[in-house]
Structure 1
Amino acid sequence: MSGVREGRRRVGPAVRAAAGRLRRGWLPVVEATLAATVAWMLATRLVGHPQPFFAPAAALIVLGQARGQRIRRAVEVVLGVAAGVLVADLVVQALGPRTTWTVFTVILLTVALAVAVGASSVTVVQAAVSALYLVVVSPPTESLIPFRFVDALIGGAVAVVASQLVDARRPLAPLVAEFRHTFRELAGVLDEVADALDHADDEAALAALDRARHADAGVDRLRDAVQAAGEALRLNVRRRRHLGRLRSVAGSIRQIDYAVRNVRVLARAAVTVTRGDAPVPTDLGAAVRTLADAVRAAGDALAADLNGAEETADGHAARADAAALAAVRSVGRLFAAGPTLPLALVIGPVRATAIDLLRGVGVDDDATVLSRVDAAVTGPER
């Protein structure tokens, strides 16, 4: 009985985890299922192909790519099918179908041709699979060549349309949500660092550092979300006017990336400070917490800018500006009161993060940002 109970204890969390993943990822499952089914129906009923293997296959391949890359992948799938069919037809005519030498020659020539023209891995695989299918399963004839090509075209087109339906009304909404999530996560890291400094807790500082090391994934998701939003806007004629807004925000991602790296450096410095023998200055945690407020305000500013709320974005940007400079002033005063190596390790990333935030929200030009931050480090509050 104990073994059964132990098995249930192990299975229960696994089932709950699987159910959670399904709740979060149900949309791609439905999207892929419907797209493949629709592609099959169009190929059989519209084109009249009795075995439209490449229609649902192309739909699934395109949908398997990240958002923002699906138009390009759809074109690559169609080209891959065309290349594979052409090679397979020529080789079968010369060597006959379903022989070892035919399979060897088709794969060799198809892959070599795709690599020689600089095709992506998706195109290489699709060309090879298309050629191999025609050689082994259904040897091509003159009438089969357009069928396979049209099947791939249908599947790719259905996948592109399906991928845009969810975000058709609000194509920028996923990007706005990703911006908010990334900045909340970064601010959360800074809050944990501040708590660790307040209590001189080296274990808490190590936990904050571990969390900071995973923040890079947020920047990668932001880049993917920008690509996806750009693709959605280009396909949506009525909303293409938002492309300029998207470009202005996309330019901030580099500064966000720098900010994430500097926060990681700051978390590492906090570990050094909390593990040292010297007492942690009482205002150091407050300064880092103020920097967290600046991060939140910067995220709100960029999200509002994407939503077209310019006045709201300006208000959040002003809050980010004030909070970032306040954090720099606080650590500057601490450093002036008694410069030590641990404090020097902290003031650098606080200053650098403040610069990244101010550049990201675009309040001033770069030279002005540097001058204002340097003045905040060494001078009194203005």
Structure 2
Amino acid sequence: MTATASRAAAALRQAAGRLRHGWRPVLQDTLAATVAWIIATRVAGHPLPFFAPAAALNVLAQARGRRIRRTAEVVIGVAVGVLVAELVVQALGPRTTGTVFAVLLLTVTLAVAFGASSVSTVQATLSALYLAVVSPPDETLVPVRFVDALIGGAVALVTSQVLSARRPLVPLAGQVRQTFAELAGVLDDTAEALRHGDQNGARAVLDRARHADAAVDRLRDATRAAGEGLRLTVRRRRGLGRLRWVEGSVRQVDLAVRDVRALVRAAVTLTRGDSPVPAELGDALHTLGQAVRAAGDALAAEVGGRERESAGHRARTEERALAAVRSAGRLFTGDATLPLAMVTGQVRDTAIDLLRAVDAGDDDAIPDRVDAAAAGH
């Protein structure tokens, strides 16, 4: 097989792999746009409902959790674009250079003046340009474009919620577990690198830790998506309460990720030194990883409405976190090196943010309990 054929075969395999993992969005986009077209033509009776499928695709292009806002932006953008196109075409006529210039200038100016988002600005401009060049508006088509955009946005919202309509919090619970599992894995691998004095291994873990913010971003996106699903669900009161609990924890999770990244950075420095790394430090990090996993289980159980199970995991989170702090605290002696002191300090900070993430008691009392554990109490 020639090199060109090999590259072509590899490209085809990659394309097939992408389709295996991405067929759901393809099917969703196609169905939503088609259904929007059918409703606009056969139910609403619109002759050329271009904006119905266009609006559906525009809304679905946005990540879940932002689609309600995107729908509003699309509809407002179409309304503004239609208004501008109507006024300009009436004054200058359709399909002229002056009309195109005026439509673009007025639409963008209005969008900027009123602080519109980039989505609204682009939608308004494209709508006005389409109506001024392709299909000039008249007195019967002005509201039709607006209704088409509304139909497309509504269809997109319904389509995007079909798979999670009955249990909109399930994907969030899965993302919670994944986020905390990734953070715990970083701690476990750091512990192994320290136990073996493996500088290269510690650096590899640091590279992972530097990308841990992406896990927090995915957790935020999953939280927004769950909120969007609940807002479109009739029976949602208890779910919204659980969602607020998770929303309040995300900030602390973000801080814990930063703490762990600083901890791994100090661990890399510690592996460069000539002094042996205390075995107890690896044990402390492994115990802290257990606390992180328990915190993830607590949040996931809370999302699922299993309050008793969540309380048990929260208790284990506190027990493991304080045990890790006690182990690290015993290493904080007068002859401790600066990197060792930094690692033990980050164990303390991670424990505090972790306990706050699961809301284990009064926030103001958590640092006192952690400091007491560091002192051996």
SS at 1:174 equivalent: helix
Residue in structure 2 matched with residue 331 of structure 1 by the alignment: 328
Residue in structure 2 matched with residue 171 of structure 1 by the alignment: 168
Distance in 1, matches of 2:111 and 2:299, equals 42
Assess if the C-alpha contact under 8 Å between 1:234 and 1:240 holds in 2. no
**Per-residue CA distance 1:221-259 (angstroms, 9 max, x = gap):** 111111111111111012333101110121000100000
Distance in 1, matches of 2:255 and 2:195, equals 26
1:281 matched to 2:278 = yes
1:105 matched to 2:105 = no
Q: 1:155 aligns with which of 143, 152, 156?
A: 152
1:346 matched to 2:368 = no
* Distance of aligned partners of 1:147 and 1:214 in 2 relative to their CA distance in 1, 3 Å threshold: same
Residue in structure 2 matched with residue 70 of structure 1 by the alignment: 67
Residue in structure 2 matched with residue 261 of structure 1 by the alignment: 258
Equivalent residues in 2 for 1:134-283, closer than 5 Å: 134-283=131-280
Q: 2:374 aligns with which of 364, 372, 377?
A: 377
- The runs of 5 or more residues in structure 1 that have no matched partner are none
Q: What is the TM-score of this pair, normalised by structure 1?
A: 0.96
Aligned pairs, number:
377
1:313 matched to 2:304 = no
Distance in 2, matches of 1:339 and 1:367, equals 29
* Distance of aligned partners of 1:21 and 1:42 in 2 relative to their CA distance in 1, 3 Å threshold: same
Aligned residue identity for 1:213: R
* Distance of aligned partners of 1:18 and 1:197 in 2 relative to their CA distance in 1, 3 Å threshold: farther
Distance in 1, matches of 2:247 and 2:226, equals 10
Aligned residue identity for 1:165: V
Q: 1:119 aligns with which of 108, 116, 126?
A: 116
Residue in structure 2 matched with residue 298 of structure 1 by the alignment: 295
Q: 2:32 aligns with which of 30, 35, 38?
A: 35
**Per-residue CA distance 1:94-126 (angstroms, 9 max, x = gap):** 111111010000010011111111111111111
SS at 1:334 equivalent: coil
- The runs of 5 or more residues in structure 2 that have no matched partner are none
Deviates more, 1:337-346 or 1:50-59: 337-346
Assess if the C-alpha contact under 8 Å between 1:255 and 1:357 holds in 2. yes
Distance in 1, matches of 2:12 and 2:206, equals 31
* Distance of aligned partners of 1:113 and 1:322 in 2 relative to their CA distance in 1, 3 Å threshold: same
SS at 1:85 equivalent: helix
* Distance of aligned partners of 1:177 and 1:125 in 2 relative to their CA distance in 1, 3 Å threshold: same
Deviates more, 1:332-341 or 1:74-83: 332-341
**Per-residue CA distance 1:291-327 (angstroms, 9 max, x = gap):** 1111000000000011011111011111111111111
Deviates more, 1:231-240 or 1:7-16: 7-16
Distance in 1, matches of 2:96 and 2:220, equals 47
Assess if the C-alpha contact under 8 Å between 1:291 and 1:354 holds in 2. yes
The percentage of aligned residue pairs carrying the same residue is: 68
Distance in 1, matches of 2:271 and 2:34, equals 59
Distance in 1, matches of 2:265 and 2:7, equals 36
| Distance apart, 1:11 and its partner CA | 4.6
Residue in structure 2 matched with residue 90 of structure 1 by the alignment: 87
Aligned residue identity for 1:186: L
SS at 1:190 equivalent: helix
| Distance apart, 1:51 and its partner CA | 1.5
SS at 1:238 equivalent: coil
**Per-residue CA distance 1:117-172 (angstroms, 9 max, x = gap):** 11111111111000100111111111111221111111011011111111001100
Distance in 1, matches of 2:16 and 2:344, equals 45
| Distance apart, 1:19 and its partner CA | 3.2
Q: What is the TM-score of this pair, normalised by structure 2?
A: 0.97
* Distance of aligned partners of 1:15 and 1:153 in 2 relative to their CA distance in 1, 3 Å threshold: same
* Distance of aligned partners of 1:288 and 1:213 in 2 relative to their CA distance in 1, 3 Å threshold: same
| Distance apart, 1:30 and its partner CA | 1.3
1:133 matched to 2:167 = no
Aligned residue identity for 1:349: Q
Distance in 2, matches of 1:377 and 1:60, equals 55
| Distance apart, 1:340 and its partner CA | 1.8
Deviates more, 1:47-56 or 1:197-206: 47-56
Distance in 1, matches of 2:341 and 2:86, equals 70
| Distance apart, 1:188 and its partner CA | 0.8
Distance in 1, matches of 2:89 and 2:227, equals 43
